Structure formats: C-alpha cells, structure tokens
Amino acid sequence: MNVIVCVKQIPDPALPGELDPDHTLKRDVKLILDESDMYGVEMALQLVDAAGGGEVTLVSMAPNSEKGGLRTALAMGAAKAVLVSDGSLAGSDSLGTARVLARAVERAGGADLVLTATESTDGYTGTVPGQVAELLGWPSLTFAKKVDVADGKVTIQRQTEAGYDVVEAPLPAVVSVTAGVVEPRYPSFKGIMAAKNKPIDECTPSDLGLSGDQVGWSGARQEIVSVAAAPEREAGEKIEDDGTAHERVVAFLEELKLI
Ligand SMILES: Cc1cc2nc3c(=O)[nH]c(=O)nc-3n(C[C@H](O)[C@H](O)[C@H](O)COP(=O)(O)OP(=O)(O)OC[C@H]3O[C@@H](n4cnc5c(N)ncnc54)[C@H](O)[C@@H]3O)c2cc1C
C-alpha cells in the first residue's frame, strides 16, 4: 500500500510571525514541519504497516528549497519526498497550492491514499484537501478521527459536533485527518541519521507542467487589500468564590449556549 502525505513547512508558530511588505507571512525564515501534519505522517506509517508493506511518500510546496520539515517527517519513517520550490510560487492562494500538490502527487507516481491535516497552522483555510481531491478527480473524506483501509476501500469516522459519521469511499482517495487521530512517534537517532540520505525530488511548477498564471500572485484569485492588528483580547471575568461561584459559571456557560 502506497500512501502520500502532504506536509507543510511553516515558520515556527512559537516565534512571533512577521509580514512581508506584500502583507503575506514572512517565509524566508527557518521553516519547520507543521505539527498538524505529523498526525498524517504517523497515520500513513501505521496504515502501511497494517497493510503488510508499501511506502510513505511526502509532498511539500515550500520556498527557498526548504527541506528542514521534510527531514523531520523522513526521520519519522517516510521513505522519500517531492519538494516543489520556486520564487514564482510566492503569493499562491489555496487553489494555487492545491494545483501544485495534485501535480506533485502525480509526479510521485500516484498512491492508494493521500493524507493531509484538516487545516494548516498558519493559513488554516482548510480548503486545500478538498481542492487537491477535486483536481485529482478522487473522492475526499474530511475530518477523519479514525481511518481504516480494506478491500480497496477507505472507511473513516468523520468528526462532527454531535459525534461522528461513518464515511466510505473507493481508493484512491484524499483523506484529511484531525489532530490526535494517532500519537505521532518521535524520530529516533537512527531515523534522523537515515533521513539525511533519503531522496528528495526537488522540482519547479514548470517541471509539473504548471504555467505562471496557475500559481503565485498571478494565479491567485484573491488580493490582500489591507492588514490590521487583531484587537487585544479582553481580560476575562474574575469570580471570587463566596460559595455561589458555580452559579455564575453555569450562567456564563448558558449565555454562551455551551450548556
Ligand atoms: C494568515 C494567512 C491567511 C491566508 N488566507 C488565505 C485565504 O483566505 N484564501 C486563500 O486562498 N489563501 C489564503 N492564504 C494562503 C494559503 O495559506 C496558502 O495558499 C497555503 O499554501 C494553502 O492554504 P492553507 O495553509 O490555508 O491550507 P489548509 O487547507 O489549511 O491546509 C490543509 C492541509 O493541506 C496541506 N497543505 C497545505 N499547504 C501545503 C503546502 N504548501 N505543502 C504541503 N502541504 C500543504 C497540509 O496537509 C495542510 O495541513 C493565507 C495564508 C496565511 C498565512
């Protein structure tokens, strides 16, 4: 069984983000593997193990030939990767990104299953998985909190507010997994050393047959007209417990229609 995992390499969310003059997130900084995608990598490794063999391949679109995040996922156990990197990708909106990832999946030779996270940690539009599936002409199953593959079909438990739905589709398919679907393994020292020599096929959009007006700013269907600082978060309400604090907490949760 061959599984491809889309992995985004993002500026470290623990550090304050910066914007470039064109209002996009500054990305010519050290990029790391998006934690959301560690679940996809781990799920892929477990599915390949359960199938008794196969391969996990990574695909990533990132600036400046960035490979740091890919090496982390290769150290977890993925076999190889396709990296699409080129200055013309700057300003890509989610459709531009999906076009690149769909072509990268084809360049990797296709797969039985493509896994992604439900949303990235920096852009978090949550729209790329469905768009990749549409461009590949494959079914997309989203918000999977459990994934099973058998008899040429994938079955997921799709997380909902009320619990979950069971959703099934024939392979190949694109599945987005929720955080916590599995416990990602830590790369071992042996895994980190082995990752240094694992192949990364680096290519450009034109290598994938994509023209300039399909990616980057010229391919984007959105324009950032202005950027404003997010309003300061208001201080919460402090409740001194004189024995009735629970009533105030219950009233507060009722106001928010949480109970
Ligand atoms: C603050 C901010 C706001 C943005 N707002 C918009 C917007 O409103 N509309 C819009 O079209 N674009 C927007 N973008 C740009 C968008 O983030 C990029 O196009 C991005 O490459 C894809 O979108 P996403 O991160 O939202 O993907 P999501 O759909 O949130 O990502 C879901 C999953 O797809 C995979 N994936 C996504 N990007 C990559 C990648 N580069 N390489 C490998 N796998 C990937 C990962 O598995 C990821 O977890 C925004 C970016 C930022 C930083």
Omega within 30 of 0 (cis) for the link into 11 = no
Q: Is 120 in the pocket of ligand 1 (CB under 6 A)?
A: yes
CA atoms of 111 and 59, how far apart (whole Å) = 12
Q: Is the CB of 37 under 6 A from ligand 1?
A: yes
Alpha-carbon dihedral sign for residues 73, 74, 80, 86: positive
> Domains, the chain, ranges and CATH?
2-219 (3.40.50.620)
- Determine whether the shortest distance from the Cβ of 94 to ligand 1 is under 6 A: yes
For a ligand 1 pocket test, name from 120, 214, 226 the mutation site with the most ligand atoms within 8 angstroms of its C-beta: 120
> Is it true that the peptide bond before 172 is cis, omega within 30 degrees of 0?
yes
pLDDT of residue 235 exceeding 90, the answer is: no
Global pTM value: 0.91
What sign does the dihedral 68-73-76-77 (CA atoms) show?
negative
As a whole number of angstroms, the distance between CA 203 and CA 129 comes to 21
Question: What percent of the chain is modeled with pLDDT above 70?
Answer: 100
- Is residue 239 within 6 Å of ligand 1 at its C-beta? no
Per-residue pLDDT of 65-121, as tens digits, reads 999 999 999 999 999 999 999 999 999 999 999 999 999 999 999 999 999 999 999
Instruction: Report the separation in Å between the CA atom of 193 and the middle of ligand 1, taken as the mean of its atom positions.
Output: 30
> What pLDDT digit, counting tens, does each position of 159-183 carry?
998 899 999 999 999 999 999 889 9
Residue 65: the pLDDT is 96
Question: How confident is the model at residue 177, as a pLDDT?
Answer: 98
Query: For tokens 């984007």, what's the residue?
Result: 220
123: three-class secondary structure by DSSP: coil
How does residue 130 score in pLDDT terms, banded at 50, 70 and 90?
very high
Cα–Cα distances (Å) from 42 to 46, 175, 188, 197, 244, in that order, read 6, 14, 14, 20, 46
CA of 56 to the centre of ligand 1 (A): 22
